[in-house]
Amino acid sequence: MSERLPGFSTLAVHAGAQPDPTTGARATPIYQTTSFVFNDADHAASLFGLQAFGNIYTRIGNPTNAVLEERVAALEGGTAALAVASGHAAQVVVLQQLLQPGDEFIAARKLYGGSINQFSHAFKSFGWNVVWADPDDVASFERAVTPRTKAIFIESIANPAGSITDIEAISTVARKAGVPLIVDNTLASPYLIRPIDHGADIVVHSLTKFLGGHGNSIGGIIVDAGTFDWSTGGKYPMLSEPRPEYHGIRLQETFGNFAFAIACRVLGLRDLGPALSPFNAFMILTGIETLPLRMQKHCDNAKAVAEFLASHPAVSSVNYAGLASDKYNQLARKYAPKGAGAVFTFSLKGGYDSGVNLVSKLQLFSHLANVGDTRSLVIHPASTTHSQLDDAAKIKSGAGPDVVRLSIGIEDKEDLIADLEQALNA
Ligand SMILES: *Cc1c(COP(=O)(O)O)cnc(C)c1O
């Protein structure tokens, strides 16, 4: 065997998987079982005491899910990963390891709408206080740091307008503050951006979107970069202090550069319970095998559609970082040279009514609240996902009355453009 490291497409197909040792099955089997038989009493005791790795119960781990975890860790360049039931579950499990009641985390203001809700309301009820910062103004993160800050959370490519975040600049702020940088890499996928290469300590995903890629399974994952020293100043007791849940074990001391992934599994997933079903893990693994092919087509189609829209007289502006004229184009060239993703917004000259109208006239685009499907999707945020906000707040979050959001699929671009053209002309 040569010394060469496998490339991204090879990892997308093979990482973590081998023929099933019992049956020879080449595709990863769905281990649809709740529990696993112990070899003997000593084996059982060592699994429960974290002295040995192995399967106990599918809420804590499952062999199908383990292949998914190893594969995404390899694609992101992390040391280990933990699959969970949804992208939102990943965010809960990550922050539970980092924050005590009364602590703070800084989050970029431009985020997936569901994350804004989760951070503002559910997390507040746990005593985890979000402090918002502006991802276009790195100094606003610096100003938000206090002695209670425990983490910084950003999206690599941010909802809803597909803007590109300067991960390296914000990771410098995190380093200086002595807190980990968490990057939600859902809209980019590791094919376009690998946040760990730019200083992220933890990566989270909604697997529901581009990684699964087919709009058929909800899932989430946490990737540990293995870069953060959790022992400093007793700030992260879940990782640095003896855990009563496990006979006084110290996770960082015992597990080193994958201690965070272990904490998420044995303190987060075990006790909070949002386990991913092995069936969904299988669906998502199958999706990941074609991630590089799909993602490139998503991006190429998105660029063609954005260019078409930019030249259409009914359109007042297009926010797509892949366009040379876009304010994020410089950052896109640096962080996402293969393509600026497939989710973006544009504005119509006719305002609210023309947004609603356009959505109702489109035939090939599906009108729904999701992104990252093989199918092209459309939504008018002002009348749906952002309808509770007042006009000023809508505009601030990039969801003004004239804004339409697209998630471009992998159909023929000529058909997508023809559908938009007939709807815009109607
Ligand atoms: C969808 C999404 C989430 C939430 O993921 P679920 O799987 O729906 O829980 C988080 N972040 C981003 C960027 C998303 O697009």
Separation of alpha carbons 152 and 327, rounded Å = 24
Q: Is 180 in the pocket of ligand 1 (CB under 6 A)?
A: no
Could you tell me the distance, in angstroms and rounded to a whole number, from the CA of residue 106 to the centre of ligand 1?
Answer: 18
Share of the chain above pLDDT 90, in %: 86
Domain residue spans of the chain: 8-287, 291-425
Please tell me the least confidently modeled range out of 180-184, 200-204, 389-393: 389-393
Q: Is 372 in the pocket of ligand 1 (CB under 6 A)?
A: no
Could you tell me the distance, in angstroms and rounded to a whole number, from the CA of residue 197 to the centre of ligand 1?
Answer: 22
Instruction: Tell the residue nearest (CA) to atom 12 of ligand 1.
Output: 112
Which pLDDT score, from 0 to 100, does residue 319 have?
A: 95
Nearest to 378 by CA among 389, 386, 370, 388: 370
Q: How confident is the model at residue 349 (pLDDT cuts 50, 70, 90)?
A: very high
Q: How confident is the model at residue 95 (pLDDT cuts 50, 70, 90)?
A: very high
Could you tell me the distance, in angstroms and rounded to a whole number, from the CA of residue 371 to the centre of ligand 1?
Answer: 9
Q: Closest ligand 1 atom, CA of 111?
A: 13
Q: Is 187 in the pocket of ligand 1 (CB under 6 A)?
A: yes
The answer to whether residue 2 scores a pLDDT higher than 70 is no
Separation of alpha carbons 235 and 69, rounded Å = 27
Q: Residue 299: which residues within 8 A CB-CB, separation 6 or more?
A: 192, 322, 338, 339, 340, 341, 342
Separation of alpha carbons 33 and 37, rounded Å = 11
Q: What is the mean pLDDT of residues 173-183?
A: 98
What does the DSSP assignment read for 163-201? EEP-HHHHHHHHHHHT-PEEEE-TTTHHHH--GGGGT-S
Which pLDDT score, from 0 to 100, does residue 313 have?
A: 96
Instruction: Tell the residue nearest (CA) to atom 1 of ligand 1.
Output: 206
Q: How confident is the model at residue 383 (pLDDT cuts 50, 70, 90)?
A: confident
Please tell me the least confidently modeled range out of 250-259, 380-389, 414-423: 380-389
Which pLDDT score, from 0 to 100, does residue 379 have?
A: 94
Which pLDDT score, from 0 to 100, does residue 396 have?
A: 74
Which pLDDT score, from 0 to 100, does residue 123 have?
A: 98
Q: What is the mean pLDDT of residues 149-162?
A: 94
Domains 8-287 and 291-425 share a fold: no
Separation of alpha carbons 114 and 121, rounded Å = 11
The answer to whether residue 352 scores a pLDDT higher than 90 is no
Nearest to 288 by CA among 207, 381, 406: 207
> Is the domain 8-287 a CATH 2.60.40.3120 member?
no
Which pLDDT score, from 0 to 100, does residue 1 have?
A: 53
User: Mind listing the pLDDT tens digit for each residue in 211-222?
Assistant: 999 999 999 999
Separation of alpha carbons 410 and 112, rounded Å = 22
The answer to whether residue 201 scores a pLDDT higher than 90 is yes
User: Mind listing the pLDDT tens digit for each residue in 13-70?
Assistant: 999 999 999 999 999 999 999 999 999 999 999 998 888 889 999 999 999 999 999 9
Q: Closest ligand 1 atom, CA of 208?
A: 7
Which pLDDT score, from 0 to 100, does residue 385 have?
A: 79
Residue 85 exposure: Cα atoms within 13 Å on the Cβ side: 13
Q: Can you say whether the dihedral through the CA atoms of 201, 216, 274, 19 is positive or negative?
A: negative
Could you tell me the distance, in angstroms and rounded to a whole number, from the CA of residue 89 to the centre of ligand 1?
Answer: 9
Q: Residue 210: which residues within 8 A CB-CB, separation 6 or more?
A: 186, 187, 189, 291, 294, 295, 298, 342, 372
Between 49 and 343, the more confident residue is 343
What's the token pair of residue 148?
């209670």
> Is the domain 291-425 a CATH 3.90.1150.10 member?
yes
Please tell me the least confidently modeled range out of 160-164, 172-176, 316-320: 160-164
Q: What is the mean pLDDT of residues 382-393?
A: 79
What's the token pair of residue 202?
């933890």
Which pLDDT score, from 0 to 100, does residue 104 have?
A: 98
Q: How confident is the model at residue 159 (pLDDT cuts 50, 70, 90)?
A: confident
Which pLDDT score, from 0 to 100, does residue 347 have?
A: 94
Which pLDDT score, from 0 to 100, does residue 390 have?
A: 78
Q: Is 86 in the pocket of ligand 1 (CB under 6 A)?
A: yes
Q: Is 354 in the pocket of ligand 1 (CB under 6 A)?
A: no
User: What letter does residue 277 receive in the DSSP assignment?
Assistant: P
Separation of alpha carbons 168 and 154, rounded Å = 12
Q: Where are the alpha helices (DSSP H) in 99-250?
A: 113-117, 123-125, 138-144, 167-177, 189-192, 237-240
Q: What is the mean pLDDT of residues 216-236?
A: 95
φ, ψ of residue 362 to 5 degrees: the values are -70, 140
Testing ligand 1's pocket by substitution, the residue of 86, 112, 221 carrying the most ligand atoms inside 8 A of its CB is 112
